[in-house]
Structure 1
Amino acid sequence: MGAGEEERVNWLIEFFGDPANWSGSDGIPARLLEHLLFSVAALALAALIAIPLGLWIGHTGRGSLLIVIAANLARALPTLGLVVLIVMLLGTASVWPVLIPLVALAVPAILVNTFEGIRGVDPELRDAAYGMGLAGRQVLGRVLVPVALPLILLGLRLAAIQIVATAAVAAYTGLGGLGRYIIDGLAIRDYPTVLGGSVLIVLFALAAQFLFVMAERIAVSPGVSRRVKVR
């Protein structure tokens, strides 16, 4: 281990070993809870917007241009710039200057994957469902959604990871979350705090990915999982 690596390890030991970092409003549990609340709220709002819209577009075939726009938006959206713009417009009296950019960041991944999941269902399976006398909503709910569920969950997982990683921008607006360690640490050149906050955000993102992988294993039927792998 080189001198630089050893120094960084010592920074992490200093940060996580300091009892002051585990209590109070600036402690790791409090900051972690704030980050979690930002992330869950943003993901829930994005899902409420994107999943019904993706189901409708995928099922009806209408509004496909919106999917193209969403896919391009996902690659071009400057999250930090959007945060600064919304803060200038709305101020910092609420969490909306943070939630709006996070939701905007998460919607494209959920929308595109939901659409692709529904559109990718075998047409013969769809026709068979109609042949059994099922109505449009029944076909969507009983046939298309279960088959498309792996891709829908993938969209939610990608969005969750993006939100968790990007929620650090909340610190720029004066709000809490794990990003406070990075912003405040850089302001006073407290590099153990900066590194510790960065590690916490990475671990949080990995935990979010693990939870969605477990959710997919529980929620998706083995037959659908095998079918997706084969395709």
Structure 2
Amino acid sequence: MNTLSEAILWLNDPLNWTNPGGLLERLSEHLQISFWAVLLGCVIGWPIGIWLGHRGRGGAAVITFSNLTLALPTLALLTILPLTPLGFGKPPVVVALGIFAIPPLLSNAYTGLRSIDPEIKDAAKGMGLSGGQMLRRVELPLAVPYLAAGLRTAAVQVVATTTLATFVNGGGLGEIISAGFGLGISVGGNQIVAGGIFVVLLALAVEGLLALLQRLVTPRPLRAAKRRRPTAAAPAG
């Protein structure tokens, strides 16, 4: 049998799921780390992006910050943060992945508020809405699809990258892959491939669920408008 077939057999073994340190335990750790990291990114990225988008300023700062944050190697952060008072384990992993989640959340929040038609804002002002009322009643509801898109991107990135938590004793599905390498390629190759397949399937599942959520939270008129939007014609010549 080739390695892929052996990996599928490894995944079909119930003991590999239920034993201590098995897939179920590591999956639980993986999801917990990912949840707290994305939540941390939302707590930081969304308020800043919404505030800057509402004010109509700071676009260059948002782009610069997002690019600088994306340029930070996540593995380097995972290596440096355990040397701080955070120590080893899950806290530095959550912080590092939370930083990694901020750019898509921040940029999508800013873009969502800046993409609103100025005529809609003028109409809201004409009705006597204050700045706070306009943000709550007009801008945020219309920006929800963008916020959901940022959440979707950040969550998938974090779920995939949480595998690196094993390098700082943070747990997660990366422990399955790391344990396979510890056994050697000839013995643990099936476990390495099985762990990789499981991470890919988990990322795809998160992508699918959040894509459905994004569609559900998009107001029906916006969905209808998107369907009616004409396709751009190809340039002549």
TM-score (norm 1): 0.91
User: What SS is found at the alignment partner of 1:26?
Assistant: coil
Give 1:18 shift: 2.3
Which residue of the other structure, out of 8, 11, 16, is the alignment partner of 2:6?
11
Tell me if the contact between 2:38 and 2:98 (Cα under 8 Å) persists in the aligned partners.
yes
1:97 corresponds to: 92
Alignment deviations for residues 138-196 of structure 1 (CA, whole Å, 9 cap, x no partner): 11111111111111111110000110000011111112110111122112221111111
2-structure distance, mates of 1:94, 1:175:
4
Deviations 1:30-55 (A, max 9, x none): 11111000001111111111111111
2:31 counterpart residue number: 36
Match of 1:81 among 76, 79, 90: 76
Q: Find the counterpart in structure 2 of residue 183 from structure 1.
A: 178
Provide the C-alpha distance between the structure 2 equivalents of 1:109 and 1:141, rounded to a whole number of angstroms: 22
- The residue number in structure 2 matching 1:195 is 193
CA deviation digits over 1:111-162, x for unaligned, max 9?
0011001001000011111111111111111111111111111111000011
Residue of structure 1 equivalent to 2:62: 67
| 1:111-122 correspondence to structure 2 within 5 Å | 111-122=106-117
Output the CA distance in 1 between the equivalents of 2:86 and 2:147.
34
Partner of 1:3: none
- Work out which of the residue numbers 147, 150, 156 in structure 2 matches 1:155: 150
User: Are residues 77 and 225 of structure 1, via their aligned partners in 2, closer, same or farther at CA, if it must alter by over 3 Å?
Assistant: farther
Q: State the identity as a percent.
A: 36
**Do structure 1's residue 209 and structure 2's residue 210 form an aligned pair?**
no
Matched, 1:226 2:224: yes
Q: What is the distance in 1 between the residues matched to 2:4 and 2:199?
A: 17
In 2: Cα distance, 1:95 partner to 1:75 partner: 21
Aligned partners of 1:103, 1:78: CA distance in 2, in Å?
13
Contact 2:176–2:192 under 8 Å retained in 1 = yes
Aligned AA for 1:218?
Answer: L
- Give the aligned residue type for 2:35: V
TM-score by length of 2: 0.89
In structure 2, distance between residues paired with 1:119 and 1:62: 9
For structure 2, list consecutive stretches of 5 or more residues without a partner in the other structure. Answer: 231-237
Contact 2:121 2:134 in 1 (8 A): yes
Number of matched pairs: 226
> RMSD of the TM alignment (CA)?
1.7
Larger mean CA deviation between 108-117 and 186-195 belongs to: 186-195
